[in-house]
Amino acid sequence: MTAAWPQIFLKVLDIVLVAYLIYQFLNLVRGTRAAPMLVGVAALVLVFYFVRLGDLPTLNWLLSTLLPYAVFALIVVFQSEIRHALANLGRRISMMRSSTSSADVYDDIVLAANLFSQNQTGALIVIEREIGLRTYIESGVALDARLSYDLLATVFRPSAPLHDGAVIVQRDRIAAAACFLPLSMNPILSTQLGTRHRAAIGITEETDAVAVVISEETGSISLAVAGKIDRDLTVERLRERLTALLRRYAPAPSLPTPVEENFVEDEPPSSHPGGRHQDAGSRLKGDD
């Protein structure tokens, strides 16, 4: 009886692996042009099965003759899907074996920040770390799209309807745009910084997130973390800071947060009162 358990385990494992492979294959072809082709292939398989059961020798001979060539035909038809699957597999293996920092994923943020700085486009990008930002994600417009330079440039385009709010990034995906963020409770900041920068500091006071801010007035790049902000960063310095911060966990700060000496404000302060949960996400335009 004891010897039967390993055999049962192997059979269950075999079934689970086959089911997983079938699921991954169906997930791969879902929503692509290969899906209707797969239905056609399944229909041909059923026809071949019933022909083998029935007394149709000529049709049975024809299908048996053509069946070996059908494998090559399937490779030609599904070549793009096969190439895509192999590329995904290679990326996953490379990510498992690579020892590089996870901050490399956010190079698109650095490139986008450089574009916004040159064009003086206001932007606020929040990167989630250990503490979840679901509350703030639900306050915006859900995107759940792969993080890319082109998408960030499109979202923060001045004519775009989502550019006034904050973008929240989860791992390598943009979870939401036009998000509402809490403003910093530090009373001194209300006279030194505008709404966009105070929102960046506010989210880093309450969570361990990292916020990248680009001023609409001056085009300067700032980085907020743990309730503090570094202003007038170069693109190279921003990349270095993100690489260091996203490599390790930084605990949430204790309040109140002291004001840094580099809080030099060259923009007019907001006229709104600085409450913690003030509506800051969609009223950031022209108020840095």
> What's the pLDDT score for residue 88?
66
**Domain around 226:** 102-245
Whether 218 has a pLDDT exceeding 70, the answer reads yes
Q: How many residues does the chain have?
A: 288
For the chain, what is the mean pLDDT? 77
260 with 94: CB under 8 angstroms? no
- Same domain? 29 vs 152: no
* Tokens representing residue 163 in the block: 């550019």
pLDDT tens string 18-75: 998 888 877 777 766 677 777 877 887 888 788 777 777 888 888 778 878 877 887 8
Number of domains in the chain: 2
- Same domain? 54 vs 74: yes
- Same domain? 159 vs 42: no
Buried/exposed 8-39: b ≥16 CB within 10 Å, e otherwise? eeeeeeeeeeeeeeeeeeeebbeeeebeeebe
- Same domain? 203 vs 125: yes
- Same domain? 161 vs 218: yes
Segments in 133-281 forming alpha helices (H)? 134-137, 149-155, 189-192, 195-206, 235-245
Q: 138 lies in a domain? A: yes
Q: 241 lies in a domain? A: yes
Q: 130 lies in a domain? A: yes
- Same domain? 127 vs 233: yes
Phi, psi of 275 (to 5 degrees): -75, 160
Domain harbouring 163, CATH code? 3.40.1700.10
- Same domain? 71 vs 132: no
Q: Which of 46, 72, 97 is the last residue of a domain?
A: 97
pLDDT tens string 256-274: 444 343 433 444 444 343 4
Is this structure's pTM higher than 0.85?
Answer: no
How many percent of the chain have pLDDT more than 90? Answer: 30
